[in-house]
Structure 1
Amino acid sequence: MGFDRRHVLKGLGAAGIASVAGCIGDGVGGGGDADAMVGVLQPVTGDLGNLGAPIRDAAILPGTQLEDSDFTIDIREEDTESQPDAGVSGAKALVNAGYPAITGAASSQVTITVAEDTLIPNQVVGISPASTAPTITNLEDDDFLFRTCPSDALQGEVMANVAYEERGLESAASFYLNNDYGQQLSDSFVTAFEELGGTVSNTVSFEAEQPSYTSALESALADDPDMMIVIGYPASGEQIFRDYYSDFDSGQTIMVTDGLRDGDLPGNVDNSMDNVVGTAPLAAGPEQDAFTELFQEEYGDDPGVFTAQAYDATAVNILASIAAGETDGPAIRDSLRDVANPDGEEVGPSNLEEAVQLVDDGESVNYQGASSSVNFDDNGDMQAVTYEIFQFGDGGVETVEEIDFEA
């Protein structure tokens, strides 16, 4: 599998946290008078809260765009609190209120739990904008679970390639959050790094939001590796990096992943974090600029990581609902690839209202997204994605390299 790199340098500020209420739906199972009903299930609080609030904002933006259209779009949001149990509670609230399609969740562990407990048994479509665990690809989901973000099977390869081939780092340690996201991304990196010829000395898991990580960091860094990967979320990341810069060699290369792509992190840690480089799925779709302008106009800030994927998830949920002609999960599922994959008039964030009208008129459309072209494969995964290599700078997060990846 090849890499196509494009070197860039641009500052991306952290997305603002705006609170926008969705409207509450009525009826159960395809009920109500809405043309489309989409639940938004995202982590506004908890370990992922800093990243989840802007993702939530992007997910409800298509509904805001269509407020003055001839179509009634019903969007309701629920907070997963970054936890599986709360995610299930939120999902059940949406399902019981009649929502046949959901944009969510964010954390892979939450998404898998919600899908198996609630979405699949109730034949409700779920499109995650941020759940990257490789196991989602082969989950027995009866084709009800999709995602607009890439699998971490790809991100692990990107990380290994950048570390070993580009930076000449030959030994590594892995320090990862003890959940599906952390474990599987760590495994993916370790496999790819060792296949390239690198050595992984220690793999150490950690629990979220602990008062100290010094002892766990000592175990990970015991063999003085050239680099350490850190896979986690911002709330835990703050304490991890405080402990690291207090007790360890800050000149060592640290590589983080999308879960720690938070422009506020250096300020919260009180360190410039110059030795840290990261990887994350990049919003590089045909209509990225249109989405960015819409987000900035609505919320007064730049979109953050996975926000474009969240917008795209809700947009295709809406288009599939209109194409299906009913607010019914199986019908929406069967229409998703029809509105997103090639063939049909190209539409996207810049003309979403026109796109909805075309679909309602029975015309074929090909949704071109903010994050990618949004072409779903047989497993509901993206067929092609772009990753960024980022660093922390004065303006928050700086993208220094782009890598195209096609499955």
Structure 2
Amino acid sequence: MSRKIRRRKILKGLGVAGVAGLAGCAQAGEDTPTEEDSGGDGGDGEDMSTATPTDESGDGDTDTETDAGGDGGAVESRTIRLGILMGVTGQLSDLGPPIRQGAELAADYMDEESDTFTVDYQFEDTATDPNTGISGAESLVSAGYPMIAGALSSTVTIQTANNVAIPNGVVECSPASTSPAITDLEDNGYLYRTTPTDALQSEVMTQIGRERLEASTTATLALNNDYGQGLADAYVSAWEDAGGTVQQEVSFEPGASSYTSQLSSALQDQPDLLMIVGYPDSGVRIFRDFYNDYSQDFCDVIVPDGLQSGSLPGNVGNSMRNVWGTAPTSTGPGRDTFDSLYQEAYDSDPSESPFTGQSFDAVAVLALANAAAGENDGEAIRDQMNAVANEGGEEVTPENLAEGLEMAASGTEVNYQGASSAVEFDDVGDIAAATYQFYRYQEGGFEVIENIEYSA
């Protein structure tokens, strides 16, 4: 078996300039279609991904050479097969590319660091559209990928899970789908997520609104999909439970040329706080319309992760200093290693984009479960997801991820401690606790005020 040159050994020899040179020379493999616009806030806008070579036999498990495992046992060299299904165009064209980079970073890192495992992955763009997502998921399943990192939009994740992943026995792990509706999905154990449910985020937003912004009345303006309506409903419930008054609940469709009417309806009773949930694609138009008709002093606004974008004030043409926000952030034991790897690969700070750490963790957990299963079989991988993530066993972090694969494959019990969190799954595949950024928009981007820990 040919020995792979390890990423960290290369980096030590080349320094910063060499790293930049390597990144600039990366080419997309045959299994990784590139989209025309892979820019956004993640890196320099280039498509930096590389798909590792696929196994020529098609089953990914034909390499019969063995290496010493993590506990001294023999581990068979083989290929781990992974699908990546994420929206990098459409409504998530601003947020999606850095999240994709987090996923591909994990796959490339394991492939380069491991002398035993090859990681073969294929990317499909959902265009933040359920029908396109279903088509992409079908392509991955048809190509023989037993596990999928994705999707991003909650609506796309629910549709791809119900129509493709669950019926075909394929494990799906989303790094960014936060809708509470996912919790109660009848998924037969095939759907997981490394990001917390918005049932938690709604509590955090309410706490900030009631205690820090001293608001007693609120209104909601929410995107009409599973993400927008799920978070808005949870927020309304949390706000009323906290003794506040919800004056108006207004929904909107994406891609409208104007949101003046919806804003007028939401703000007609002059709430202390307006909660807006959506994506930057529509958010730019919403905030332009807001500042055309209202001043920053009219009311405070609070937004969730879907509207966290450093380019938003510039695109809107306003400092947006009356806009506050929350977003799941990465504070896991492997955060420092992940930050370093991401910075080296993309010359960008991952903390400037939401869900990058969660994306790395989704791929890492799937790969560890695959290694523990010993085969590219969805049911076998599903049965190992909790085992490799939850408490008990040898600690595996992003730093020793390649060694973790060998330990899991040799039968050693492992406990993945991620970049975003400890990645502890409950009995329905949700993360039970999370840390949220509390941030505020300002000229040129946003400022993180503090991190808030929250658990169910």
Classify the TM-score, shorter chain.
over 0.9
Residue of structure 2 equivalent to 1:342: 391
Residues 222-241 of structure 1: pairs in structure 2 closer than 5 A: 222-241=268-287
Q: Give the C-alpha shift of residue 391 in structure 1.
A: 1.2
Contact 1:25 1:97 survives alignment (8 Å)? no
Deviations 1:297-324 (A, max 9, x none): 0011011200100000000111110110
SS in 2 for 1:402: strand
Distance in 2 of aligned mates of 1:61 and 1:227: 39
- How big is the shift at 1:27? 8.5
Given that residues 42 and 106 in structure 1 are in contact (C-alpha distance below 8 angstroms), is that contact kept between their aligned partners in structure 2? yes
- The structure 2 residue matched to 1:48, chosen from 81, 92, 103, is 92
What is the alpha-carbon distance in structure 2 between the residues aligned to residue 317 and residue 29 of structure 1?
Answer: 20
Taking the aligned partners of 2:443 and 2:270, their CA distance within structure 1 comes to 29
Q: Is the 8 A contact 1:18 1:299 kept in 2?
A: no
1:37 to 81, 93, 96: 81
Cα deviations across residues 105-129 of structure 1 (Å, max 9, x unaligned)? 0000000000000000000000000
After TM superposition, the structure 1 = structure 2 runs for residues 267-286 of structure 1, keeping only pairs within 5 Å, are 267-286=314-333
- The reply on whether 1:188 has 2:234 as its aligned counterpart is yes
2:348 matched residue in structure 1: 301
1:146 maps to what in 2? 192
Larger radius of gyration: 2
Aligned partners of 1:392 and 1:37: how far apart in 2?
40
RMSD: 1.7
Report SS of the residue matched to 2:111.
coil
**Structure 1 residue 362 and structure 2 residue 389: aligned?**
no
2:51 to 15, 22, 46: 22
Aligned to 2:382: 333
Please give the alpha-carbon distance, in whole angstroms, between the structure 2 residues aligned to 1:175 and 1:206. 7
TM-score (norm 1): 0.94
Is the 2:372–2:410 Cα contact (8 Å) retained in structure 1?
Answer: no
Q: SS at the partner of 2:230?
A: helix
Distance 1:118 1:230 in 2: 31
The answer on whether the counterparts of 2:172 and 2:191 sit within 8 Å (CA) in structure 1 is yes
Mapped pair 1:219 → 2:246: no
- Quick check: 2:91–2:128 contact (8 Å CA) kept in 1? yes
Q: Using the alignment, how far apart are the partners of 1:210 and 1:23 within structure 2?
A: 40
Distance 1:274 1:76, change over 3 A: same
Q: What is the TM-score with the length of structure 2 in the denominator?
A: 0.84
Q: Using the alignment, how far apart are the partners of 2:181 and 2:58 within structure 1?
A: 29
Q: Which residue of 1 aligns with 2:174?
A: 128
One-letter code of the match for 1:207? E
CA separation in 2, counterparts of 1:157 and 1:280?
12
Partners of 2:391 and 2:197 in 1: CA distance? 21
Q: Once the 2 structures are TM-superposed, how far is the Cα of residue 29 of structure 1 from its aligned partner?
A: 9.2
The reply on whether 1:113 has 2:142 as its aligned counterpart is no
The amino acid of 1:260's aligned partner reads L
SS at match of 1:313: helix
> Take 1:123 and 1:38, find their aligned partners in 2: how far apart are those partners?
14
The alignment covers a number of residue pairs equal to: 395
**1:349-402 Cα deviation digits (max 9, x unpaired):** 111111112222222211100000001110000122111111123563321122
2:424 is matched with 375
SS in 2 for 1:292: helix
Identity among equivalent positions (%) equals 51
Q: Which string of whole-angstrom CA distances, capped at 9 and with x for unpartnered residues, describes residues 144-195 of structure 1?
A: 0000000011111111111012221011110000001100100111111111
Give 2:291's aligned residue.
245
Task: Measure, in 1, the Cα distance between the counterparts of 2:165 and 2:317.
Answer: 42
The answer to whether the 8 Å contact 2:41/2:94 transfers is no
Is the 8 Å Cα contact of residues 314 and 443 (structure 2) preserved in structure 1?
Answer: no
Aligned to 1:165: 211
Deviation, 1:287, is: 1.0
The answer on whether the counterparts of 1:30 and 1:99 sit within 8 Å (CA) in structure 2 is no
Residues 18 and 305 of structure 1, relative CA distance in 2, 3 Å threshold: farther
**TM-aligned CA deviation for residue 15 of structure 1:** 2.9
Take 1:255 and 1:224, find their aligned partners in 2: how far apart are those partners? 15
Q: Following the alignment from structure 1 to structure 2, what is the Cα–Cα distance between the partners of residues 296 and 278?
A: 25
Question: 1:281 touches 1:306 (CA, 8 Å); kept in 2?
Answer: yes
- 1:254 aligned to which of 286, 301, 324: 301
CA distance in 1 between counterparts of 2:417 and 2:279 reads 30
Structure 2, unmatched stretches of 5+, are 1-39, 63-77
Q: How many angstroms does 1:66 deviate by?
A: 2.4
The answer to whether the 8 Å contact 1:29/1:328 transfers is no
What do the CA deviations read for 1:216-266 (whole angstroms, capped 9, x no partner)?
111111111111001000110011111111111322200011000000100
Query: Is the 2:373–2:409 Cα contact (8 Å) retained in structure 1?
Result: no
What are the within-5 Å matches in structure 2 for residues 61-100 of structure 1? 61-68=105-112, 69-70=114-115, 71-100=117-146
The residue number in structure 1 matching 2:202 is 156
Q: Aligned in 2, Cα 1:246/1:395: closer, same or farther, shift over 3 Å?
A: closer
Q: In 2 relative to 1, CA 38–217 (structure 1 residues): closer, same or farther, beyond 3 Å? A: same
Letter in 1 for 2:51: G
Q: Distance in 1 between matches of 2:148 and 2:212?
A: 39
Query: Which whole-Å deviations, capped at 9, do the CAs of 1:306-352 have from their partners, x for residues lacking one?
Result: 01000000001111101100000000000111111111111111111
| Residue identity opposite 2:309 in structure 1 | D
Q: Which has the higher contact order (CA 8 A, sep 6+)?
A: 1
Which amino acid is 1:22 matched to? A
Name the SS for the 1:363 alignment partner: coil
Deviation at 1:22, TM superposition (A): 2.5
